[in-house]
Amino acid sequence: MKILVTVKRVTDYEAKLQIDSSGTGVKLDGVNMIANPFDEIAVEEALRLVEKHGGEVCVLSIGSGEATTQLRAAMAMGADRGILIKAADKLDGVSISKIITQIAQEEKPDILLMGKQSIDDDSQQIAQMVAERLGFGQATQANKVVIEGEWAMVVREADGGLETLSVKLPCVITSDLRLNEPRYASLPGIMKAKKKPLDERELASLGLDLKASLSILKLELPPKKQAGEILPDVATLVSKLREVEKVI
Amino acid sequence: MSAIHLIIAEHDGTHFKKSSLSALAAAQKIPGACHGLVLGKNIKSMADAFAKHVPQVHMAEHDGLEHRLAQPYAKVIADVAKSIGATHVWAAATAAGKDVMPRVAVRLDAGMASDIQAVIDDKTYKRPMWAGDITGTVQLHSPVQVITVRPTEFAPVETQVQGQVSAVKADPGVNNTRFIGFEAVKSERPELADATIVVSGGRGCKSPEGFKQLIEPLADQLRAAIGASRAVCDAGWVPNDWQVGQTGKVVAPKLYIAVGISGAIQHVAGMKGSKVIVAINKDPEAPIFQVADYGLVGDVFTIVPELVQRLKAL
């Protein structure tokens, strides 16, 4: 079984972010960068599936050369090799989905495993777009994956409960929070990762015609809410809610 | 050129969801003609109900659409969008909408704006990014656009019209996915996403029993939905479906009461749109107090029962 997993380099979820001078990006100086947490869960799931069924895990990232850090980290967890598509500019979701599709067509994985969303863009659209381009079935927001022959049985976190789907391989699966707990890389794992193959390619070498269908005009910090009032007792709270706010 | 909107009516097999009327509300911000689309099996009553709000409702009925599977649904939605020459295709940003709509965008060669919170003009939208820490203004450049709408940001359309329902020929095409089952989280309470009052519990409730003992009586008294922080969902105290946050449900009730919740960024992203926020926490430094309108500092096991008693006495 071959599993391709995407790993995006994102700002740390605890970072205090500021808008840069262009007004369309965030300042990255001094901001800690991490692998998108959902992608780490996807890497972990891929490793578990391959430990059970045999095969190979390949990790893919698109972005600056610095994303090799996140790819090496995934390889330290146990992924076999990495691919980095070097792209200087910020790309929109549709373009990213075209790049991933092209790599998937070259690599021909049985499963393309991706995080359900990246914690920076929060768009939650790329995996589904890739599935459609490839003509694959999909199971998004997975909280359990079991391989049964030519099918993947996936329990997914749907609205109002848990939905179970069976998806024919090859397919696209996206990880939700509770799919697993990613392992920590071991020291031997980290040493081994340094020697694992990492194929760095320029975006232009893919020969794709990428035209942005979405652009960011402006980023802004939402207005800061005034910190609230600390009340002395429960009685005061009840009267505020009833008489001032009229919500009870 | 005037817009042609196609709004997907999501449903549970019996009723279409109120969030679809929020998607309609967002669409109506852009002048144009509105079409609705209901997909499934035995859906006539829901199509009729949706036609009370949308002038023209298309009904795509097919055995292959009995279950809401992304691959066949996306094909039929895109087929209908093409047949009416839709310029904007809308759905609520529910788990279902997020699952299906990106595939629709590919089929229509469309750009997509996810989970929007405001419509600026016919191709420009505001949407939360970085867990709502940053608001992005985005513009789509494609002739056809796909947009999912954050339901809490648009009041559902209430205006009634006498719309027409027409059946369309649906061809679900290739489907590589089988529906096996659905295990609903059963609850007598209002749905979290629609509730006017939400009571949420966090790690400060100490244990699953503590959560039950504190949160349930308060929710009962207020006829509120129950939510939870990610930590207590992860710990298995309550169903995952109760999680409020960036990666869980986004809620915006009239009143949100956070009990024993510290207020991590990712939780706050899911509730900061609430009209009035009350935080009860023993730690005066807890970040939840930064977003709360009213705070009580102290032991939740003392404060919450007293609050229930005082509410009962009203």
pLDDT tops 80 at residue B186: no
Confidence of residue A88 (pLDDT cuts 50, 70, 90): confident
Contact residues on chain B for A177, CB-CB shorter than 8 A: 230, 234, 240, 247
**Buried/exposed code over A102-128 (b: 16+ C-beta within 10 A; e: otherwise):** bbbeeeebbbbbbbbbbbbbbbbbbbb
* Phi, psi (deg, nearest 5) at residue A204: -60, -30
Expressed as residue numbers, the domain containing A231 is 2-244
Angle ∠(A220,A23,A125) on CA atoms, nearest 5 = 70
What are the structural domain ranges in chain B? 3-168, 197-312
Does this chain's domain B3-168 share its CATH topology with B197-312? Answer: yes
As for how many domains chain A has, the answer is 1
Q: Is B180's Cβ below 8 Å from some Cβ in A?
A: yes
Nearest chain B CA: its distance from A200 CA (Å): 27
* pLDDT score for B1: 66
Across the range B92-104, mean pLDDT stands at 97
> Residue A30's CB: how many other CB atoms inside 10 A?
6
Confidence of residue A159 (pLDDT cuts 50, 70, 90): confident
Q: Is B312's Cβ below 8 Å from some Cβ in A?
A: no
Are A26 and B134 in contact (CB < 8 Å)?
yes
* pLDDT score for B100: 98
* pLDDT score for A47: 98
CATH number of domain containing A146:
3.40.50.620
> Which helix (DSSP H) or strand (DSSP E) does residue A111 occupy?
strand A111-115
Contact residues on chain B for A14, CB-CB shorter than 8 A: 265
ipTM score here? 0.95
Interface test with A, best of B130, B141, B150 (most A CBs within 10 A): B130
Confidence of residue B137 (pLDDT cuts 50, 70, 90): very high
Across the range B272-297, mean pLDDT stands at 96
Across the range B18-31, mean pLDDT stands at 97
* Closest chain A residue to the Cα of B234, Cα to Cα: A178
Q: What is the pLDDT of residues B220-255, one digit of tens each?
A: 999 999 999 999 998 999 998 899 998 889 999 999
Across the range B33-41, mean pLDDT stands at 98
Across the range B285-302, mean pLDDT stands at 96
Q: What is the pLDDT of residues A220-234, one digit of tens each?
A: 998 877 778 999 999
Q: What is the pLDDT of residues A186-203, one digit of tens each?
A: 999 999 999 999 999 999
* pLDDT score for A129: 98
Lowest mean pLDDT among A43-52, A86-95, A162-171: A86-95
User: Is B307 in contact with B300 (CB distance < 8 Å)?
Assistant: no
Alpha carbon distance A156, A159 (integer Å): 10
Nearest chain B CA: its distance from A156 CA (Å): 9
Which candidate from A17, A158, A166 shows the least CB-CB separation from B95?
A: A158
Q: CATH for B197-312, among 3.10.20.30, 2.30.30.30, 3.40.50.10540, 3.40.50.1220? A: 3.40.50.1220
Q: What is the pLDDT of residues A123-134, one digit of tens each?
A: 999 999 999 999
Across the range A64-82, mean pLDDT stands at 97
Across the range B183-205, mean pLDDT stands at 90
Are B290 and A234 in contact (CB < 8 Å)?
no
CA B183 to centroid of chain Cα atoms: 19
Q: How many CB pairs under 8 A join A and B?
A: 253
* pLDDT score for B187: 77
Any idea which fold B3-168 has?
Rossmann fold (3.40.50)
- Percentage of residues in chain A with pLDDT exceeding 90? 92
pLDDT tops 80 at residue A179: yes
pLDDT tops 90 at residue A9: yes
pLDDT tops 90 at residue B185: no
- Please provide the DSSP assignment of B163-221 as one string: -EEEEE--------EEEEEEEE---SSPPTTT-SEEEEE-GGG-SHHHHHHHHHHHHHH
